A and B are shown apart, each in its own frame.
Chain A
Amino acid sequence: QQQVKQSPQSLIVQKGGISIINCAYENTAFDYFPWYQQFPGKGPALLIAIRPDVSEKKEGRFTISFNKSAKQFSLHIMDSQPGDSATYFCAASIRGLTGGGNKLTFGTGTQLKVEL
């Protein structure tokens, strides 16, 4: 019930295209859904996050779509660029109303390659 299932495992997109990575969860108590971007040899960097009270959040070319009834959320990268080539991890946690500081349950990661 604590798992977060992420797909696809790898993805190749042409420059300028849309990259879509999907995640599904089981635990309905999850209320915080971040995405991390990791380049080889670096620590993961927080990219964008969403709470379940909204269905979509956009920051620049990155958008999270959230479907609470389906228990799914996805990352869309518009106008994908070669510099977006990295591994992307979705995650979920129970944060509640009293603040942060909990454990993130991570998906298994998606290796994105954007080709010229």
Chain B
Amino acid sequence: SQTIHQWPATLVQPVGSPLSLECTVEGTSNPNLYWYRQAAGRGLQLLFYSVGIGQISSEVPQNLSASRPQDRQFILSSKKLLLSDSGFYLCAWWGKSVGDEQFFGPGTRLTVL
């Protein structure tokens, strides 16, 4: 069965510090991978998605970047965090076969102080 992991689970970072959030998927190959951000009490904002290694599409221009160095690894980064980067970051995967559906990871709670 497929499993998606995110770490860390929680993170408190000062303004101006770098960021690296990691997402890995097990039990599937060549999935589509997604990064979402959810502000407190708000909806889901798609930040980036990837259809394969090294292929990244950005949905919203911002202070963040994403990379996919391996088939089942998706990384969200920032060189200098802003207060507005605080939120709940969710990774998701979606297989490319007919009938596949999108599944979310457990999320990372980021607080920028």
Identify the A interface with B (CB < 8 A).
34, 36, 41-46, 49, 89, 97-104, 106-109
Query: Could you tell me if B98 and A99 are in contact, using CB atoms closer than 8 angstroms?
Result: yes
Say whether B101 contacts A89, CB under 8 Å.
Answer: no
21 example contacts (A-B, Cβ-Cβ < 8 A) are as follows A34-B102, A43-B92, A43-B105, A43-B106, A44-B44, A45-B104, A46-B101, A46-B102, A89-B44, A97-B98, A98-B98, A99-B95, A99-B100, A100-B95, A100-B100, A100-B102, A101-B100, A103-B49, A103-B59, A104-B46, A109-B44
* Interface size counted on chain B using CB atoms at 8 A: 27
Q: Nearest chain-A residue to B4 (Cβ)? A: A43
A44 surroundings in chain B (CB, below 8 A) = 44, 90, 104
B residues near A41, Cβ cutoff 8 Å: 107, 109
* B107 proximity list for chain A (CB < 8 A): 41-43
List which B16-47 residues lie within 8 A (CB) of chain A: 31-32, 34, 42-44, 46
Within 8 A of A (CB), among B58-113: 59, 90, 92, 94-107, 109
Q: Is B51 an interface residue (CB 8 A)?
A: yes
Contact of A100 among B46, B101, B109 (CB under 8 A): B101
A32 and B39 CA atoms in complex are apart in Å by 26
Q: Which residues of B contact A45 (CB under 8 A)?
A: 104
Main secondary structure of the interface of B (DSSP, over half): loop
Least CB distance from B55 to A in Å reads 12
Most buried by B among A42, A103, A107: A103
Can you name 6 extra interface pairs (CB under 8 A) apart from A36-B104, A100-B32, A109-B43? Answer: A44-B44, A46-B103, A100-B95, A101-B94, A107-B43, A108-B42
CA distance A46 to B95 in the complex (A): 14
Q: How far is the CA of A36 from the CA of B32 in the complex (A)?
A: 18
Q: How far is the CB of B83 from chain A (nearest CB, A)?
A: 21
